[in-house]
Structure 1
Amino acid sequence: MSYAIIGFGKIGQALAKAFARNGIEVSVATTRDPESFASDTAAIGPTIIPKKLAEAVEADVVFLAVRFEQYPDVAKALPTWQGKTIVDVTNAYGVPPEKLEGQLSAKVVAQAFAGARLVKGFNHLSATVLGQDPAVHGGRRVVFLASDDDGATTDIGALAKDLGFAPIDLGRLSEGGMLVHGRGNSWGRLIFKDLVKFDDKS
């Protein structure tokens, strides 16, 4: 399984740190030339590989960590996203609901990445918190996942565990996905909730 992070702002770098911490290779791309941020990826770790956008999107799993307004530019990088999984880490806070035609932002993103399985996830934490070691006080920091594809949720949940997090499945985008959704002037109820899960040892 190959992984890529599209976007190398604060959230993209926080995700890259999680991969580096666990020695998992991940490609990183932006709309810029990879040489322009190669020193930054090297500073995070040797498993963080800067690539051109056209190369990075060949990965099996693509983390969409750009500003919400930039998702169409990434979607155009391939004619079809069939067989790939998109992890939508974007937040549409500040985007008027009418611009989303009343839909959840994740639904809008899913339509742009035709053929892909989409999982909303890793978006409810601030970059500062997301970039920290998820091992906290003997537990693991929670990441919420929502998708209309149960298999995709399972696969990304397994990856989240490999990255040290405790994944919690919120169900479908139109159900639990509402809890980690932002648009207009409102945030879902689980946004910014920094929770820790402790394994039941009984």
Structure 2
Amino acid sequence: MSKSENKIASYAIIGFGNVGQALARAFARKGLEVSVATTREPESFASAAAAIGPTIIPKKLAEAVKADIIFLAVRFGSHPDVAKALPSWQGKTIIDVTNAYGVPPEELGGQPSSRVVAQAFTGGKLVKGFNHLAAAVLDQDPPVHGGKRVVFLASDDDGAATEISALAENLGFSPIKLGGLSEGGLLVQARGNSWGQLIFKDLIRFN
């Protein structure tokens, strides 16, 4: 039995820039509680969190990473600093919302950027997702003209992809699973001066 089946999962968003705040608003719209943290003290962004809604809880990074499901909404270059917050990420699912645009492929060892992130979060399950939409689009209410805004998910762990797919649906989005990080995942990853083919594609799905 997975964590999500025997208890309500807890959520955190690490990073509180435009993307982090857009994700926080998605939780607030559904009345779902989510911790938010940065490498700064929570007091520095508490008023911005309060302005979004009462279910957005500012925390210190060390507290926020206790959550079961963690959105990584920081600059790509900052992910190792977040990864150091715990010695092991066993039992946690990390949603990689970073984009490695401008990072030379050789710095990534020729790998998809999410693989590099996954290696930093030892023991955790990683899902690439929510990163293909510009922050201003992600910020909007996902139901559009009778359809729902699509979010793409890629993971080498089918169970984690299913778990985050259910969360995306709870937040009002229409998730589409792309398969593994090295296959479909490349469609939503940036590296060097190139963007994956699906990045910035704002699609609406009508069921």
Structure-2-length-normalised TM-score: 0.96
Could you list the per-position Cα deviations for residues 67-117 of structure 1 after superposition, in whole angstroms to 9, with x for gaps in the alignment? 000000000000000000000000000000111010110000000000000
Amino acid at match of 1:147: S
State the alpha-carbon separation in 1 of the partners of residues 161 and 110 from structure 2.
24
Residue type at the aligned position of 2:168: A
- Alignment equivalent of 1:73, drawn from 70, 75, 81: 81
Q: d(CA) in 2 for partners of 1:33 and 1:181?
A: 30
**How far off is 1:159 after superposition?**
0.2
Q: Which residue of 1 aligns with 2:18?
A: 10
Shift of residue 7, structure 1, vs aligned partner: 0.1
Q: Match of 1:186, SS?
A: coil
Equivalent residue for 1:155, pick from 163, 169, 173:
163
Structure 2 residue 200 is matched with structure 1 residue 195: no
User: Unmatched 5+ residue regions in structure 2?
Assistant: 1-8
Determine the C-alpha separation between the residues in 2 that align with 1:105 and 1:196.
26
- Give the partner amino acid of 1:137: H
Q: Does 1:55 align with 2:57?
A: no
Read off the aligned partner of 1:86 and give its amino acid letter: I
C-alpha distance in 2 between matches for 1:26 and 1:41: 10
Equivalent-residue separation in structure 1 for 2:186 and 2:117 (angstroms) = 15
Which residue in the other structure is 1:178 paired with? 186
Q: Please give the per-residue CA displacement for 1:45-77, whole angstroms capped at 9, x wherever unaligned.
A: 000000000000000000000000000000000
CA distance in 1, matches of 2:90, 2:180: 20
In the aligned structure 2, how far is the partner of 1:11 from the partner of 1:183?
A: 19
3-state SS, counterpart of residue 161 of structure 2: helix
User: For 1:161 and 1:139, how far apart are their aligned partners in 2?
Assistant: 12
Identity of matched residues, %: 77
Q: Does 2:132 align with 1:124?
A: yes
Return the match for 1:33 from 28, 34, 41: 41
Unaligned ranges ≥5, structure 1: none
AA partner of residue 199 (structure 2) = I
- Name 1:83's counterpart in structure 2: 91
Superimposed CA distance per residue, residues 147-172 of structure 1 (whole angstroms, 9 cap, x where no aligned partner): 00000000000000000000000001
How far, CA to CA, are the matches of 2:185 and 2:100 in structure 1?
13
- Aligned residue pairs, count: 199
* Equivalent residue, structure 2, for 1:95: 103
Partner of 1:133: 141
Deviations 1:112-152 (A, max 9, x none): 00000000000000000001000000000000000000000
SS in 2 for 1:102: coil
Query: Segments of 4+ in structure 1 off by > 2 A?
Result: none
Q: Which residue of 2 aligns with 1:164?
A: 172
What is the TM-score of this pair, normalised by structure 1?
Answer: 0.98
- Tell me which residue corresponds to 1:114: 122
In structure 2, the residue matched to 1:45 is 53
